[in-house]
């Protein structure tokens, strides 16, 4: 035990570990706040779809040799999010089919582009680290940390101020619209914020595992809590605890960061489900 604490203290001195913890906590917090709304609105898969779009965008960015690719990736992902929301209202292609199409499509195009044009010698390694976030969270620069901090503060403030309206729009969109709340505008906002969070979260867990950050905390909280505010708060707590735990464990045992965080989330989900089964008899 002493050993572990000592080695933790040793690692904590390094700025890259501190950065990873700061960014991890913030992203976990934001994604869990959004997650509750997305899961309840039956948009769980939007996170998955958008993260693959982000992968495709990243491939484009690396092919044209952009040094700071975050901006391009973010713009493309936000546009995709807005488009997905639109197709949800169009009846020709159903919402879930549109997401699936975009999702696999951009994955394929992204990988193709990387293979055809990439100057890197280790394509497989690059792809793997984008998909699973292998080491990128430990190589964050100071400016990336700042971007993440600012974005997270914006998301949290927005969420708090609009909390009551988000609840109304999530619970009953028609009623909200009928009483004059511009529900479409809130849906648009939710889609844009989701896209931003996903691009930021790619650093943490990689694009394949982002959905887990969005879905698991919300689902865990919904197992045991019976009111909306409680679910939001509890899922934020779960998400942050799992992220910190996952990062620390991955450093101690040299496991991949993203998968460790997701496994922590799975364990918490299982525990919550068990508790819910037991308490309800």
For other proteins, the closer of residues 82 and 225 by Cβ is 225
Question: Closest Cα to residue 60, out of 49, 47, 73, 71?
Answer: 73
CA distance 51 to 57: 10
CA-atom Rg of the chain in angstroms? 19
For other proteins, the closer of residues 118 and 177 by Cβ is 177
For other proteins, the closer of residues 17 and 39 by Cβ is 39
CA distance 211 to 192: 16
Beta carbons of 50 and 77 less than 8 angstroms apart:
yes
Q: Please report how close the Cβ of residue 99 comes to other proteins at its closest, in angstroms.
A: 17
Q: Please report how close the Cβ of residue 93 comes to other proteins at its closest, in angstroms.
A: 16
Q: Please report how close the Cβ of residue 47 comes to other proteins at its closest, in angstroms.
A: 18
Which residues lie below 8 Å from residue 200, measured CB to CB, with a gap of 6+? 23, 27, 30, 147, 148, 151, 152
For other proteins, the closer of residues 24 and 95 by Cβ is 95
For other proteins, the closer of residues 129 and 276 by Cβ is 276
Q: Please report how close the Cβ of residue 174 comes to other proteins at its closest, in angstroms.
A: 5
In the complex, the residues that contact other proteins under the rule CB under 8 A are 40-42, 160-165, 167-168, 170-172, 174-181, 221-222, 225-231
For other proteins, the closer of residues 101 and 181 by Cβ is 181
Question: Closest Cα to residue 202, out of 131, 114, 265, 143?
Answer: 131
Within 10 Å of residue 224's Cβ, how many Cβ atoms? 16
Q: Please report how close the Cβ of residue 221 comes to other proteins at its closest, in angstroms.
A: 8
CA distance 30 to 197: 7
Within 10 Å of residue 154's Cβ, how many Cβ atoms? 13
Structure tokens given for 95: 């919402």
Q: Please report how close the Cβ of residue 194 comes to other proteins at its closest, in angstroms.
A: 17
């Amino acid at each position: 035990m002493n050993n572990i604490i000592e080695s933790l203290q040793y690692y904590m001195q390094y700025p890259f570990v501190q950065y990873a913890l700061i960014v991890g906590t913030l992203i976990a917090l934001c994604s869990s706040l959004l997650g509750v709304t997305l899961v309840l609105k039956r948009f769980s898969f939007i996170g998955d779809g958008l993260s693959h779009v982000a992968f495709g965008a990243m491939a484009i960015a690396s092919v044209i040799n952009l040094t700071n690719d975050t901006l391009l990736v973010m713009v493309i992902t936000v546009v995709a999010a807005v488009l997905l929301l639109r197709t949800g209202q169009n009846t020709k292609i159903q919402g879930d089919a549109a997401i699936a199409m975009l999702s696999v499509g951009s994955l394929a195009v992204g990988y193709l582009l990387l293979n055809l044009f990439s100057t890197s010698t280790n394509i497989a390694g690059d792809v793997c680290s984008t998909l699973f976030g292998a080491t990128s969270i430990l190589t964050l620069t100071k400016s990336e940390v700042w971007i993440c901090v600012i974005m997270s503060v914006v998301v949290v403030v927005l969420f708090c101020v609009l909390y009551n309206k988000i609840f109304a729009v999530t619970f009953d969109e028609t009623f909200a619209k009928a009483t004059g709340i511009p529900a479409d505008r809130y849906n648009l906002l939710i889609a844009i914020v989701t896209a931003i969070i996903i691009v930021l979260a790619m650093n943490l867990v990689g694009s394949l595992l982002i959905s887990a950050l969005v879905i698991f905390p919300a689902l865990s909280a919904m197992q045991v809590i019976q009111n909306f505010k409680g679910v939001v708060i509890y899922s934020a707590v779960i998400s942050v605890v799992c992220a910190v735990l996952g990062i620390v464990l991955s450093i101690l045992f040299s496991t991949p960061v993203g998968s460790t965080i997701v496994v922590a989330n799975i364990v918490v989900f299982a525990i919550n489900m068990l508790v819910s089964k037991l308490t309800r008899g």
